[in-house]
A = this chain, B = another copy of it.
Amino acid sequence: MPTNRLEAFSDGVLAIIITIMVLELRVPHDANAAALWRLAPVFLSYVLSFIYIGIYWNNHHHMLRLTERVTGGVLWANLHLLFWLSLFPFATGWMGENHFAADPTALYGVVLFMAAVAYWILQRTIIAGQGDGSPLARAIGGDWKGKLSPALYAIAIVAAFRATWLSQLLYVAVALIWLVPDRRIERFVAAEVIKRR
């Protein structure tokens, strides 16, 4: 089975998630800058989540470029990932509207953690289907980002109840880690795709 319909469906879901998140930014009744200012925490959490969904879309895009066979297992592992990502608008809205309070901050971390685990499961499912010398396995290599992220999310979840600012800092830090371009993987993907033609 080719990957195009899986990509199209995932793109659709990710596009909707990233866009309906903005609906949590409710139009205030007052027409002054103060009303806007009160939305600052919701806006900031929207920006953070937008970047996270962008990172997932980006990585998902690269991963599927190195995937050829879509099995039933891959379909369900992908839906599992989309499930956790679909909770982003809820977690983002709750955290933003409560000005980064402890419980919502922890929940945000739980959603991030579960999405990272789901991504890892999808990755392993694809690699298992590719057998030895899997191009995806070689592309991700040690995958230190994929291993470090859930660990930092776990710390952030615990920290939420003691020092919420630390959790927020960790969420931003992990996003930055992924934003730094990883030219090595990009080059690998390009080389691999050219080779196959």
Contact = CB atoms under 8 A, between A and B. Distances in A.
B27 A90 contact: yes
B58 A18 contact: no
Interface string A60-83: 010001000001110110010011
A91 to B, nearest CB: 9
Interface of A: 1, 5, 7-9, 11-20, 22-25, 27-29, 31-33, 36, 47, 50, 54, 57-58, 61, 65, 71-73, 75-76, 79, 82-83, 86-87, 89-90, 93-94, 97-98, 101-104, 107, 179, 181-183, 186, 189-190, 193
A86 B17 CA distance: 12
Contact of A103 (B31, B83, B90): B31
A16 B193 CA distance: 31
Given A9-B14, A16-B16, 8 more contacts: A12-B12, A12-B14, A22-B87, A22-B90, A27-B90, A27-B94, A36-B107, A58-B76
A89 B22 contact: yes
Contact of A9 (B57, B71, B107): B57
Contact of A15 (B9, B32, B193): B9
Most buried by B among A19, A25, A79, A82: A19
Contacts of A17: 19
Contacts of A50: 79, 83, 86
7 contacts: A8-B11, A12-B12, A16-B20, A18-B82, A22-B89, A24-B27, A72-B182
A98 B153 CA distance: 34
A47 B72 CA distance: 19
Contacts of A20: 16, 19-20, 23
